[in-house]
């Protein structure tokens, strides 16, 4: 009985989820959704112009992974990192190949999400 309880506790504990139980994604949450925090996605260190987008409609790490993949599929994107909790996408890109409008369009093509250029702060 105690062994069964221990197994059930592991299955429903926040640490059983890849996000540590912080995202409301439930069973759709997986480790692949959280793999975007790698050194290869370091936008600050990547070559090219940088832009920050505010992305609405994301509810979990899987959403962020979909948006990240859409951004990285745009020709000219050197790095992209998306955080579903803050709704922020940071992108480094080659301005000779793409621009912020193309990145916003790539997010919009996913259907569920909307992006706009973040307001610059003084």
pLDDT one-digit tens code per residue, 10-48: 444 444 444 554 444 544 554 444 444 443 458 888 889
Given this model, what pLDDT does residue 33 score? 44
Is residue 72 predicted with pLDDT exceeding 80?
yes
Given this model, what pLDDT does residue 40 score? 44
Instruction: Tell me which of 66 and 36 has the higher pLDDT.
Output: 66
- 42-64, pLDDT tens digit by residue? 888 888 999 999 999 999 999 99
CATH architecture for segment(s) 32-117: 2-Layer Sandwich (3.30)
- 76-113, pLDDT tens digit by residue? 999 999 999 999 999 999 999 999 999 999 999 999 99
Given this model, what pLDDT does residue 29 score? 52
Instruction: Name which of 109, 108, 1, 121 is nearest 55 in CA terms.
Output: 108
Q: Percentage of residues in the chain with pLDDT exceeding 90?
A: 57
Q: Where are the domains of the chain?
A: 32-117
Tokens matching residue 51: 């832009």
Rounded alpha-carbon distances, angstroms, from residue 17 to 12, 23, 26, 79, 111: 8, 9, 8, 26, 26
Q: What's the pTM value of the predicted model, to 2 decimals?
A: 0.67
Phi, psi of 21 (to 5 degrees): 80, 10
SS3 state of residue 23: coil
């Amino acid at each position: 009985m105690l062994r069964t309880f221990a197994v059930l506790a592991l299955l429903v504990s926040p640490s059983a989820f890849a996000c540590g139980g912080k995202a409301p994604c439930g069973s759709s949450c997986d480790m692949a959704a959280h793999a975007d925090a790698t050194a290869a996605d370091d936008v600050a260190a990547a070559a090219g112009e940088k832009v920050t987008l505010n992305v609405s409609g994301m509810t979990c790490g899987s959403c962020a992974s979909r948006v990240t993949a859409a951004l990285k599929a745009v020709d000219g994107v050197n790095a992209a990192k998306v955080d579903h909790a803050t709704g922020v996408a940071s992108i480094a890109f080659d301005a000779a190949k793409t621009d912020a409008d193309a990145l916003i369009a790539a997010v919009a093509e996913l259907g569920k999400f909307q992006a706009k250029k973040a307001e610059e702060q003084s």
